[in-house]
Amino acid sequence: MKKVLFLAFLLAMLLCQTNGAFAEVRLPSILGSHMVLQQKSEVNLWGWCNPSEKIQVKCSWDTTSYSTKGTSGAKWSLKIKTPVAGGPYTITINQKMLLEDVMVGEVWLCGGQSNMEWSGVQKLKQSLEEAPLATNQKIRFFYVPKATADTPQEDTRAGWKVCTPDEMVRFSAIGYFFGKKLQQVLDLPVGLINSNWGGTPAETWTPREVVEQDPVLKEASLKLRPADGWPITPGSSYQAMIAPLVKFKIAGVIWYQGESNTQNYPSYSHLMERMIGSWRASWADNFPFYFVQIAPFSYGFYNVGALIREQQTKCLTIPATGMVVVHDLVDDVNNIHPVKKREVALRLADLALAENYGAKGVVYKYPMYKGMVIEKNRVRILFDNAENGLVATDKVPNEFYVAGTDQKFLYANARIEGKSVVVWNKAVKEPVAVRFGFSNTSVPNLFNKEGMPVNLFRTDQWEVKTEAVVK
């Protein structure tokens, strides 16, 4: 009996050694052929292997040999230095695994809900018209599939794809047009990571512990209404669709989301501050975060869209952020998915080109409320980013409202005077407050001379009507 047990033991040991000998080094899906690595950086390579297994990596852009050993947890990681943009290159791991057609350039994550997700799959005209022209070896896509998880995941089921008409049609339209402009202007490879899910509130994209340990955010998350098409549980999207990416070096994030947070708008800017901060902490990188202010739409509750846009404006106090205003790009306020995605993408690209890449002569700043001066029965509104003056497409500015101490807002007459706008209503003898574009469906016609739309604002902090719209 002892002899049998001894032979069984030897056989088991032999099998373990044999399996170990043939075990392959594994990589997460974000690392693979056709990927784009961030240029001029120290980037991570990582994966799984046998404990103590020696890992050797060589990159064809230089003669350096990088090496490490597997941990007791059967994982490995190391950092490699990337050159200036270029390619294609190869990366060889242990002389057996070959990653081919690797480019080095700029990598951006495209996140949010349906307005970032929308593509030719949803019959978006701009995507379908662009598709036949979309073959571009210097644009690469990584499309994270929809998933949720209770704990942070280390991998996702996806792979890098070269931009072709078929791949472009199913990729985020905003992501593609953003990447296309960067690629053309900078003349370098661009990698785009698509991680979004229509309908998701921002709580799902924030690590669960961040929400649950913050009393304000935890209370707000309880106000989210359950839905059949998307999760509402804090952290559930982050853990499955962002956590697997955090070791992968990126240049920055573009973000289009907020419609699903109209139901708990008061905490949105605080939520975004915590979400952005947690992402940057996960990446160990204070990358730029550029977002789209949600578009006008006829929500079922008064003014909640305006209040979210106000919250998004407050997010500009978060370091290294930027916002694009898009209310002038809306043709139908009853469609929550405005169809002019290319124009939104180009505004995001201009923001990135100016702020990240030092492009000169790019117009990307929006007129913002600066202050007001009461002049008897009139109010003069002052703006930043209107140095060359203001214009109204119909000559007379619309969407201004003025109120006295009774807090009753009346539609205001408005006149442009250089860099300011004077507003009044004869029925308001002593004006104290002004609102501009402050409703769900407001589409103002005021721009600076460079053609950038004026952002909505209010000068008061009074209670805003938010009850359900009665039809």
Segment 270-277 shows an average pLDDT of: 98
Segment 290-299 shows an average pLDDT of: 98
3-class DSSP state for residue 96?
A: coil
Closest to 136 (Cα-Cα) out of 188, 175, 83, 84: 188
Structure tokens at 43: 């980037």
Closest to 351 (Cα-Cα) out of 185, 208, 216: 185
Q: Is the pLDDT of residue 3 over 60?
A: no
Segment 289-305 shows an average pLDDT of: 97
Structure confidence at residue 24 (pLDDT)? 82
Pairing, β 390-392 against β 433-436:
unpaired
Confidence band, pLDDT 50/70/90 cuts, at residue 6: very low
Summary mean pLDDT of the chain: 95
436 pairs with which residues across the strands? 400, 457
Q: How far apart are CA 447 and CA 399, in angstroms?
A: 13
Rounded to a whole number, what is the distance in angstroms from the first to the last CA of the chain? 85
Q: Given the structure tokens 């080109």, which residue do they identify?
A: 353
Structure confidence at residue 22 (pLDDT)? 39
Q: Is the pLDDT of residue 14 over 50?
A: no
Q: Is the pLDDT of residue 2 over 60?
A: no
pLDDT in tens, 325-360: 999 999 999 999 999 999 999 999 999 999 999 999
Kindly list the domain boundaries of the chain, sorted by start residue: 36-103, 104-355, 368-458
Confidence band, pLDDT 50/70/90 cuts, at residue 226: very high
Phi, psi of 333 (to 5 degrees): -75, 0
pLDDT in tens, 62-100: 999 999 999 999 999 999 999 999 999 999 999 999 999
pLDDT in tens, 15-70: 444 344 435 899 999 999 999 999 999 999 999 999 999 999 999 999 999 999 99
Q: How far apart are CA 53 and CA 72, in angstroms?
A: 10
Are the CB atoms for 70 and 84 separated by under 8 Å? no
Q: pTM of the entire structure?
A: 0.94
- Cβ neighbourhood burial of 40 (10 Å; 0-12, 13-18, 19+): exposed
Q: Is the pLDDT of residue 5 over 90?
A: no
pLDDT in tens, 391-411: 999 889 999 999 999 999 999
Confidence band, pLDDT 50/70/90 cuts, at residue 470: confident
pLDDT in tens, 183-218: 999 999 999 999 999 999 999 999 999 999 999 999
Q: How far apart are CA 172 and CA 159, in angstroms?
A: 16
pLDDT in tens, 122-157: 999 999 999 999 999 999 999 999 999 999 999 999
44 pairs with which residues across the strands? 79
Structure tokens at 227: 């839905």
May I ask the CATH architecture of the domain 104-355?
A: 3-Layer(aba) Sandwich (3.40)
Q: Is the pLDDT of residue 374 over 80?
A: yes
The secondary element (H helix, E strand) that includes residue 11 is helix 2-22
